[in-house]
């Protein structure tokens, strides 16, 4: 359900505004209505700093694995430093590290090119050039090198490596010099100089890694500093977004808080001696949305948040789609063995990852749903219970065949659509009046009536009492007369007649639930294929058992991950499209975000 909100309107002297908002922030219960973001240069600078620092923390975390074995400096991390200075130091270190890593790659390449020419002194080259000689450098294969060249040219072999000769020929400046091989590129620096540069760069990278490894151990401090900066921006925006009256001396602020905090907030505001008006929030005020559900339903709120929040005054559908979603997930996963794995994974994870306790509890519930629904077919790890265990025929006959599962998925979908229409009808009757919910009651009746009529044609011997047809006709009359609630009787009948065109949409909605059968069946087939491949390896001498176990483990893990993805997405699609549409959901609410100090 949606928590009821109280609207607060404040009038505060402008000089006292900052202190007042600071106290509201400490309280952490009121969502201050903000009309602008980054309203001036100061807020833009704050936002830019937060974005930059967030990127710094992200880059640091990306290096966590590569710096795991790096020893941090003995001096440690100076947490008493100014937060801004720390982030600037880290950002500069990251930038310099990237530059040095790129320079290291270039130096390694340069070293490979220069080491084969041996060490040389640039002064010796300049001295030879000052004596009137020009230097020509060559690299030729051993087969192409001729010792006779030494008699014809002033030639000096510099190195012989990898079946090649590296040499230099001196020719007088101004003389005609011809040689049958093209000249080679001579390195700009001697390899010993390049080695020294590479050593210095690697030391810089090592020092940077050591510094960053020390910083990573205190990343929590950086995140707290970032949260503090966000609080400062939040407080500043709340202040500058307020309207100013009386030539800038008064500030008019609007805020919202849950009705359950009304007494506590009254004591607080009375103590602060601030002028305010508290009144019940209405839909026209567009209050923020805070959901208030029980333990079971609250676990499914993150799924609903993936679409959108309901508007204030609208029905929160989370309690109504939660049980369906859990069972739909089980139908799509289609294997109680995989459901057991999810249940165990969620249970073990709750002991290891307490931070994600609610999400892992949701995984447990989805695992329970994935154990309950596949019991209809008896599927477990790609096979059937009747194959693994000797069960009596009376029990084996209770398991659903594929065609029964096909119709079960459709009937289950019809049940959810009818349930959604009834919810829509009851909510409309309660909030608007009895006549506003009659057409949805009519649709619920017609859908059930049409489904029973079709089932009669498919099941021989099925008998429908005559009064059921009269109830179906009554449902049609409700649609005809109450699809429109305004205008004269002729207008309403005409609109009601056109409303029957929605039967095509209802038919399409029902067919959408076939995906529950399709996904569950495909997952079972994939599991069966994995078992078949694995069992074919059992006869391999000596190592057959190993390869069989390996294929079963890897194969079923892959099928579980693939099936879980489909089982997560497709029930969500059925919820957000078919169920929400038939429930009359419009959405568009904004989450309750109180002004708090992180």
Q: Is the distance from CB of 140 to CB of 181 less than 8 angstroms?
A: yes
What pLDDT score does 575 carry? 92
How is residue 309 annotated by DSSP? Answer: B
Give residue 77's pLDDT band: very low, low, confident or very high (50, 70, 90).
low
Ranking 155-169, 237-251, 427-441, 549-563 by mean pLDDT, the lowest is 237-251
For residue 541, the SS3 value is coil
Integer angstrom CA distances of residue 28 from 32, 277, 390: 10, 19, 62
Percent of the chain with pLDDT over 90: 23
Q: What are phi and psi of 463, to 5 degrees?
A: -120, 130
For the segment 299-354, what is each residue's pLDDT rounded down to a tens digit? 999 998 888 899 988 899 999 999 999 999 999 998 999 999 999 999 999 888 88
Give the residue with greater pLDDT, 532 vs 233: 532
* Global confidence as pTM: 0.69
Residue with tokens 């200075």: 85
Q: Is the distance from CB of 321 to CB of 300 less than 8 angstroms?
A: yes
Question: Strand pairing of 154-161 and 164-172?
Answer: antiparallel
Rg (CA), the chain: 38
What pLDDT score does 323 carry? 94
What pLDDT score does 541 carry? 85
Q: What are phi and psi of 344, to 5 degrees?
A: -70, -40
What pLDDT score does 568 carry? 92
For residue 133, the SS3 value is strand
**451: exposed, middle or buried (C-beta count within 10 Å: 0-12, 13-18, 19+)?**
middle
Q: Where are the domains of the chain?
A: 5-88+212-285, 120-189, 295-582
pLDDT surpasses 70 at 85: yes
Percent of the chain with pLDDT over 70: 95
Task: Give the mean model confidence (pLDDT) for residues 131-151.
Answer: 87
Task: Give the mean model confidence (pLDDT) for residues 412-434.
Answer: 92
């Amino acid at each position: 359900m949606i928590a009821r909100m109280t609207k607060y309107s404040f009038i505060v002297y402008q000089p006292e505004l900052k202190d007042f908002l600071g106290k509201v922030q400490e309280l952490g219960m009121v969502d201050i209505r903000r009309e602008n973001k980054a309203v001036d240069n100061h807020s833009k600078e704050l936002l830019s700093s937060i974005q930059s620092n967030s990127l710094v923390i992200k880059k640091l975390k990306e290096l966590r694995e590569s710096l795991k074995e790096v020893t941090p400096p003995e001096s440690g991390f100076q947490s008493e430093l100014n937060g801004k200075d720390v982030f600037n130091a880290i950002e500069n270190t990251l930038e310099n590290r990237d530059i040095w890593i790129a320079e290291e790659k270039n130096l390694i390449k340069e070293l490979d090119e220069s080491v084969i020419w041996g060490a040389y002194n640039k002064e010796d080259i300049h001295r030879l050039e000052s004596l009137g000689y020009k230097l020509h450098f060559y690299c030729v294969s051993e087969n192409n090198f001729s010792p006779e060249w030494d008699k014809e040219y002033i030639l000096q072999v510099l190195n012989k490596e990898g079946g090649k000769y590296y040499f230099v020929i001196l020719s007088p400046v101004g003389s005609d010099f011809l040689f049958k091989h093209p000249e080679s590129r001579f390195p700009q620096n001697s390899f010993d100089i390049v080695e020294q540069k590479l050593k210095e760069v690697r030391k810089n990278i090592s020092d940077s890694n050591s510094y960053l490894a020390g910083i990573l151990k205190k990343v929590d401090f950086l995140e707290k500093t970032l949260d503090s900066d966000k609080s400062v921006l939040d407080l500043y925006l709340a202040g500058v977004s307020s309207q100013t009256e009386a030539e800038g001396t008064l500030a008019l602020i609007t805020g919202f808080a849950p009705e359950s905090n009304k007494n506590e907030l009254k004591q607080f505001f009375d103590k602060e001696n601030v002028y305010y008006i508290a009144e019940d929030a209405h839909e026209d005020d567009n209050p923020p949305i805070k959901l208030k559900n029980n333990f079971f339903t609250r676990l499914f709120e993150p799924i609903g948040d993936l679409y959108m929040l309901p508007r204030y005054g609208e029905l929160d559908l989370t309690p109504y789609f939660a049980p369906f979603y859990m069972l739909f997930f089980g139908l799509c996963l289609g294997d109680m063995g995989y459901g057991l794995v999810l249940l165990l994974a969620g249970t073990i994870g709750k002991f290891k990852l307490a931070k994600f306790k609610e999400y892992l509890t949701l995984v447990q519930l989805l695992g329970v749903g994935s154990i309950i629904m596949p019991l209809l077919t008896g599927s477990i790890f790609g096979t059937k219970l009747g194959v693994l265990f000797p069960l009596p025929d009376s029990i084996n006959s209770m398991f659903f065949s594929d065609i029964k599962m096909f119709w079960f998925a459709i009937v289950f979908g019809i049940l959810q659509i009818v349930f959604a229409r009834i919810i829509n009808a009851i909510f409309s009757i309660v909030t608007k009046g009895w006549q506003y919910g009659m057409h949805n009651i009519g649709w619920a009746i017609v859908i059930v009536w049409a489904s029973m009529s079709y089932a009669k044609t498919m099941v021989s011997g099925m008998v429908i009492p005559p009064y059921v047809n009269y109830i179906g006709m009554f449902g049609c009359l409700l649609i005809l007369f109450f699809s429109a609630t305004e205008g004269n009787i002729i207008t309403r009948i005409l609109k009601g007649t056109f409303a029957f065109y929605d039967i095509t949409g209802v038919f399409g909605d029902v067919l959408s639930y076939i995906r529950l059968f399709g996904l569950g069946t495909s997952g079972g087939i994939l599991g069966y294929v994995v078992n078949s491949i694995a069992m074919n390896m059992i006869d391999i001498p000596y190592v057959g058992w190993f390869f069989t176990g390996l294929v079963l483990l890897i194969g079923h893990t892959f099928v579980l991950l693939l099936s879980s993805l489909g089982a997560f997405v497709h029930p969500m699609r059925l919820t957000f499209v078919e169920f929400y549409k038939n429930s009359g959901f419009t959405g568009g609410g904004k989450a309750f975000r109180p002004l708090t100090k992180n």
